[in-house]
Amino acid sequence: MNITETFAHHARAVPDRPAIVHGDRVLLFRDLDPLVSRAAAHLYSLGLAPGDVAGVALKDSIEHLVILSAMARAGIVILPLDWRWTPAEQERVVAHFGAKLALMEPGKPSLQNCPCLSVSEDFLFLVQKQKTDQKFPEGDLPLLMSLSSGTTGRPKGPRIRHSQFLARYRVFWINLGFHSQDRFLSATPFYYGGGRTFPLTMLYSGGAVYMLPPPYEPEALCEAISKYRITSLFLVPTLIRRLLTLPAEKLAPVRSLRLLLSSGSALHAEERRALRALCPGFVEYYSSTEGGGVSYLTAADPEAFSESVGRPVFGVEVQCVDESHQPLPLGGIGRIRYRGPAVADGFWNDPEASRESFRDGWWYPGDLGMLDASGYLTLKGRAKDMIIRGGINIYPGEIEAALQSHPAVLDSAVVGWPSREFNEEVAAFVILNGESAPAVSPSELRDLCRKSLAPYKVPREVFVVKDFPRNALGKVIKADLSAGLSPLG
């Protein structure tokens, strides 16, 4: 039970098939399995042992993917670190999770509270000198500290086992159709959950991973799809939005994809419609780093459900519950929870946070949602983002959808505005698309909301901004928007 256990089979069955391709460099399956064993043996020679935690702060490369695989084979727990973080951010995370070593990009500063090793030419030379007959542990080993994006607040993440990761692979095979003939384009950083998990799934399955590490222009992405005859691609919504800015003729390669996968945050309704029309293989995949997949929506699902995030994936049970953790009737809006073989057991070294988010085998991802009679799940926003105005629950998502129905609104974010009278009022922030749509004033946008929303949901003010504060995945940091609002008297 190891996510590298199939590599030896692929080395025998398809030795000349590319495993990883990065530019002019090609690593064949015949070479992947022994290289992973050598790298795992080298990690042992550095003093690491099964069960130890090691940080990985590397740019996307063939070596990065090999090191992740080597750690998995050796039973060393992967602690992902964004190489772009400051030393202080990295030090906070390695201290919390007790890392014994951090593997770093050459030239990056060392950390004060953790031994560091540069993955340089010397490191790679020593890997090649290792033997391939090293014995490695068996059983359901710990694999990965599965961190959510961002580093604000105290670090949180569960320790995922190999069996839980393999359960996620089963969902990819059954619901997303990953298979050994796939040619997957890795265009999202390995630091992020999907950016790391989908390429590892490809290697386990015997498919080929072609690398296009960000940053890149959307035209380059389309060219890579065509050049490498890519069949499957995963992008976060931020990258998809850049892709959708291209003219139709530039997007021709995207139409040929068997699978265009979006995950990481919810798409806007008009983006879903554009993607459904663009690519028959479009799938929106609702998931979390802590629990794996929840639901999926395909271009083949009826248009009537196109604003949902689809139906539950294989092996997962989903509920929407009230504040007493009781399941709500169909159509009721409540906290989403789900359980299944891929869901983590709790946050590592954080019992307080575990009690808040893990309960009786259920994982609460922090989202609000609604299940209908057909099994489709619709997101209604983050639980922490819900606005309570005069005792009435207001879900930002429906206000954001109303604002984005205007062609001049490129993006929107709705937050609570502290108010002495009502506890909270509604504040809306919008980014306007002045180039391809007519101008619109804040008062006109408030009038638009009045046409489709109850009076108490209409924003007290609409603020036009150039951009939103975002984390590295492109998700809006609503707390920063709220922090800039002075309380209403």
128-135 LR contacts (CB < 8 Å, sep 24+): 128/38, 129/38, 130/37, 130/38, 130/39, 130/41, 130/42, 130/45, 131/38, 131/41, 132/34, 132/37, 132/38, 132/41, 134/37, 134/40, 134/41, 134/44
Per-residue pLDDT at 86: 87
Q: Which residues, in sequence order, are CB contacts of 428 under 8 Å at separation 6+? A: 399, 400, 403, 412, 413, 414, 445, 459, 461, 462, 463
pLDDT digit string (tens) for 172-181? 999 999 999 9
Strand partners, 122: none
Nearest CA among 176, 186, 206, 232 for reference residue 12: 206
**Superfamily of chain region 386-483:** ANL, C-terminal domain (3.30.300.30)
3-state secondary structure of 321: strand
Question: Are 271 and 237 spatial neighbours (Cβ–Cβ below 8 Å)?
Answer: yes
Q: Return per-residue pLDDT of the chain as tens, 489 residues.
A: 899 999 999 999 999 999 999 999 999 999 999 999 999 999 999 999 999 999 999 999 999 999 999 999 999 999 999 998 889 889 999 999 999 999 999 999 999 999 999 999 999 999 999 999 999 999 999 999 998 754 445 788 999 999 999 999 999 999 999 999 999 999 999 998 999 999 999 999 999 999 999 999 999 999 999 999 999 999 988 889 889 989 999 999 999 999 999 998 778 788 888 999 999 999 999 999 999 999 999 999 999 999 899 999 999 999 999 999 999 999 999 999 999 999 999 999 899 989 989 999 999 999 999 999 999 999 988 888 889 888 788 889 889 989 999 989 999 999 999 988 888 999 999 999 876 566 899 999 999 999 999 899 999 999 999 999 987 777 889 989 999 999 997
CATH 3.30.300.30 residue window(s) in the chain: 386-483
Distances from the Cα of 146 to the Cα of 2, 14, 112, 196, angstroms: 17, 31, 23, 11
Q: What is the DSSP string of 407-421?
A: TTEEEEEEEEEEETT
Question: Are 357 and 383 spatial neighbours (Cβ–Cβ below 8 Å)?
Answer: no
Question: Are 62 and 20 spatial neighbours (Cβ–Cβ below 8 Å)?
Answer: yes
Cα–Cα distance for residue pair 255/222, rounded to 1 Å: 10
Crossing angle for the helix pair 121-128 and 29-45, to the nearest 10 degrees: 100
User: What DSSP state is assigned to residue 266?
Assistant: P
Q: Which residues, in sequence order, are CB contacts of 23 under 8 Å at separation 6+? A: 211
Q: Per CATH, the architecture of 7-371 is what? A: 3-Layer(aba) Sandwich (3.40)
Can you give the pTM of this predicted structure?
0.87
Question: Are 177 and 169 spatial neighbours (Cβ–Cβ below 8 Å)?
Answer: no
Cα–Cα distance for residue pair 432/466, rounded to 1 Å: 8
CATH 3.40.50.12780 residue window(s) in the chain: 7-371
